[in-house]
């Protein structure tokens, strides 16, 4: 009964090699080196192997002395050494610990057990060699320009020079996903270039794009490499030989790009720019050019250490290997490029959580709304739930919040209630931890919870707490929630945050100093945060909301005379902010106020002062009690239709300015600077 020890058996290639051994050696036992802290993960993985009862963990560590084995190694006829650092961006020490010291320990174990060592090297050992590189070639004086190249060369050198161990060496080219399923486990090699190709997907397919001549590469699907290895491992009489697991024909970059561009719906290349490779090489020696090049690569998400090594100056000859593997051929790249692309787009694309454009529906999206138990928040919850969103409703009062969530569910929506006081840092941290555990992430955040105080500065000289309370809810509460969600949004590379600001930020209406200061602070914070997180796909919208008929404005009799929108109309503005993700949404009256302030500042101040003198403090600001039904409640009379007052005669003028944008306002959005 054959016995195998495998290092790197839980890796992307290793998992398939182990399955191949189990399928083709029905009596074999496979011992897989695994770290003690990874045993739980290993147990879960082992259940995916057919014949998993013959897979046994061997606790150890590739980078530790003697492989860190706490128990004597079991007898084995074969040791398949797949474990290594395959990361081009790894530093010298990290690469050396796994690739060199690890291989040395595996050699010692192979000698101790008198096992055949199957060492997985890489075509990277060819370095900068130009021309044909045969399977028996090794040290031809080539330069090795990265820690990965140097350590893989050193590891293979140790194996080749071993006198007491029977060995075989396998040199795969650049390994990509499974040609049958497209599956890949991480972004590596040519996958770093996928986002750049995806960004071209919005261009007309007929647009001609000349491509720089970057030479040729060599990629092979993981299923071919695994199948070839299993066949060669099992075949007797091959000790002391090296096998090139490569595409027998070098693949020009234009060919690779063309296959991926077809899958991405991007324009096809129209040929190579002659001399571009030589020109790029020459430019790289000029002062400052490498810095600019590395910066541009970073902006494209391509590590500077990877870009020089995706093409090869060597042509890898694999005649002997292919002769042994008759019946097993490397599939053409264009035959499986579409599957690679689709798997990447669905599972690995860093921007996969971002909507392609304006979203008509929110199916599958997670929307978190604060202040969701009443008013604009509740109306927005109903609106986005009807469009397919999963709504996370947050408010302080648990009973009222549960009733609001039940109302959304009764309307056919998917709503979840989370009671939280956003002025409490610990409560916000607990809220975000629970939400991420329950739902995996938040796509949209609506900072709707707010506190408004209408009181003049003169009447606030002994009420510092008014300013502290508005800042606690309107600014610090919203910022606290943004900061708590920001890391997960950056990890998902998408998030949109809608802040319900106020028209008062633009009009700067008297008696709202505390309120306007807090909303202005949030607006300015968000503008800066949006700039800093733009590359991560995180965007902000500030909705300079007009007055809305909610409990917040009920204490002020004056506002009962104004033709203000109701919560459902305000929710429509919020939905537009979520769907279109503009920087801000204003109203015509807000834009007009800003224009007057810019062009005629003294006139505006005079008008505002006269308004301040004409309309006095509200009853609430004077100390009257207007909430007999409990905190936050307003009477039915206070929320009734607007009463007659001197302002009522202005309704025909104010209504078009205070109401939601209509067709005329939508047409006005084409004017730069207008966000109605």
Positions marked active-site = 515
Q: 345: which DSSP letter?
A: I
Q: Please give the distance of CA 17 from its chain centroid, rounded to a whole number.
A: 31
| Rounded Cα–Cα distance for residues 522 and 516 (Å) | 10
- Cβ–Cβ < 8 Å for 146, 305: yes
CA distances from 279 to 246, 289, 356 (A): 29, 12, 36
CB atoms within 10 A of CB 465: 12
- Cβ–Cβ < 8 Å for 238, 168: yes
- Cβ–Cβ < 8 Å for 20, 6: no
- Cβ–Cβ < 8 Å for 31, 74: yes
Residue 492: both structure tokens together: 């998902």
Residue 96: both structure tokens together: 């050396």
Residues with Cβ within 8 Å of residue 96, at least 6 apart in sequence: 147, 151, 154
DSSP element (H, E) containing 149: helix 147-161
Q: Please give the distance of CA 191 from its chain centroid, rounded to a whole number.
A: 15
Residues with Cβ within 8 Å of residue 471, at least 6 apart in sequence: 514, 517, 518, 521
CB atoms within 10 A of CB 44: 9
| Bridge partners for 119 per DSSP | 81, 169
Strands 366-370 and 538-543: unpaired
E strands in 242-365: 242-245, 251-252, 269-273, 314-316
Q: 235: which DSSP letter?
A: S
| Rounded Cα–Cα distance for residues 228 and 13 (Å) | 12
Upper half-sphere CA count for residue 492 (Cβ side, 13 Å): 20
Place of tokens 């075949």: 235
Phi, psi of 87 (to 5 degrees): -90, 120
Determine whether 440 is exposed, middle or buried from the number of CB atoms within 10 Å of its CB (0-12, 13-18, 19+). exposed
- Cβ–Cβ < 8 Å for 510, 526: no
| Rounded Cα–Cα distance for residues 446 and 498 (Å) | 5
Place of tokens 């506190």: 451
Residue 475: both structure tokens together: 């600014």
What is the length of the chain? 676
Phi, psi of 292 (to 5 degrees): -65, -45
CA distances from 400 to 372, 406, 632 (A): 10, 10, 11
| Rounded Cα–Cα distance for residues 343 and 348 (Å) | 7
Q: 145, 53, 158: which is closest to 108 by C-alpha?
A: 158
């Amino acid at each position: 009964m054959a016995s195998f020890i495998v290092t790197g058996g839980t890796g992307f290639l290793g998992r398939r090699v182990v399955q191949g051994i189990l399928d083709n050696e029905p009596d074999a036992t496979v011992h897989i080196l695994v770290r003690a802290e990874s045993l739980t993960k290993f147990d879960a993985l082992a259940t995916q192997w057919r014949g998993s009862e013959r897979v046994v963990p061997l606790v150890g560590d590739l980078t530790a002395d003697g492989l860190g084995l706490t128990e004597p190694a079991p007898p084995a006829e074969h040791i398949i050494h797949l474990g290594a650092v395959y990361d081009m961006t790894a530093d010298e020490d990290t690469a050396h610990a796994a690739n060199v010291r690890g291989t040395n320990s595996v050699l010692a174990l192979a000698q101790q057990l008198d096992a055949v060592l199957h060492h997985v090297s890489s075509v990277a050992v060819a370095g900068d060699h130009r021309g044909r590189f045969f399977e028996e070639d090794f040290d031809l004086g080539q330069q090795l320009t990265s820690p990965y190249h140097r350590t893989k060369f050193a590891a293979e050198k140790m194996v080749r020079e071993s006198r007491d161990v029977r060995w075989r060496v396998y040199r795969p080219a650049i390994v990509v996903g499974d040609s049958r399923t497209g599956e890949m486990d991480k972004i590596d090699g040519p996958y770093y270039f996928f986002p750049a190709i995806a960004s071209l997907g919005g261009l007309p397919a007929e647009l001609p794009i000349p491509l720089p001549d970057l030479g040729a590469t060599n990629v092979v699907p993981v299923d071919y490499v695994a199948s070839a290895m299993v066949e060669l491992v099992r075949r007797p009489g091959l000790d002391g030989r090296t096998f090139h697991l490569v595409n027998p024909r070098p693949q020009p970059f234009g060919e690779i790009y063309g296959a991926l561009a077809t899958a991405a719906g991007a324009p096809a290349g129209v040929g190579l720019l002659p001399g571009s490779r030589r020109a790029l090489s020459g430019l790289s020696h000029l002062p400052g050019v490498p810095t600019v090049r590395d910066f541009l690569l970073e902006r494209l998400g391509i590590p500077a250490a990877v870009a020089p090594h995706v093409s090869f100056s060597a042509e890898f000859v694999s005649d002997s290997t292919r002769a042994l593997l008759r019946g097993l051929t490397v599939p053409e790249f264009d035959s499986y490029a579409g599957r690679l692309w689709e798997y990447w787009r669905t599972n690995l694309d860093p921007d996969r959580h971002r909507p392609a454009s304006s979203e008509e529906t929110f199916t599958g999206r997670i929307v978190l709304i604060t202040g969701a138990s009443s008013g604009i928040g509740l109306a927005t919850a109903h609106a986005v739930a009807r469009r397919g969103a999963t709504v996370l409703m947050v408010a302080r009062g648990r009973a009222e919040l549960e009733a609001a969530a039940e109302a959304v569910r009764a309307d056919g929506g998917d709503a979840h209630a989370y009671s939280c006081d956003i002025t409490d840092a610990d409560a916000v941290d607990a809220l975000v931890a629970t939400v991420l555990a329950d739902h995996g992430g938040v796509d949209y955040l609506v900072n709707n919870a707010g506190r408004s105080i209408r009181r003049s500065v003169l009447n606030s000289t002994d009420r510092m707490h008014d300013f502290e309370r508005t800042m606690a809810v309107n600014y610090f509460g919203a910022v606290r929630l943004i900061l708590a969600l920001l890391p997960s949004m950056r990890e998902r590379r998408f998030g949109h945050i809608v802040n319900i600001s106020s028209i008062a930020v633009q009009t700067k209406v008297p008696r709202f100093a505390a309120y306007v200061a807090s909303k202005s602070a949030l607006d300015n914070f968000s503008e800066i945060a949006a700039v800093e997180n733009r590359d991560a796909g995180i965007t902000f919208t500030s909705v300079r909301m007009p007055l809305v008929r909610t409990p917040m404005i009920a204490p002020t009799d004056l506002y009962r005379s104004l033709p203000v929108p109701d919560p459902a109309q305000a929710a429509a503005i919020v939905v537009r902010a979520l769907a279109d993700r503009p920087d801000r949404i204003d109203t015509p009256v807000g834009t007009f106020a800003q224009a007057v302030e810019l062009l005629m500042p003294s006139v505006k101040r005079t008008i505002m002062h006269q308004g301040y003198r004409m309309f006095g403090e509200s009853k609430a600001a004077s100390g009257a009690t207007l909430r007999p039904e409990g905190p936050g409640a307003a009477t039915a009379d206070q929320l009734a239709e607007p009463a007659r007052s001197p302002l009522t005669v202005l309704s025909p003028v104010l209504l078009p300015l205070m109401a939601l944008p209509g067709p005329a306002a939508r047409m006005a959005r084409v004017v730069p600077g207008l966000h109605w």
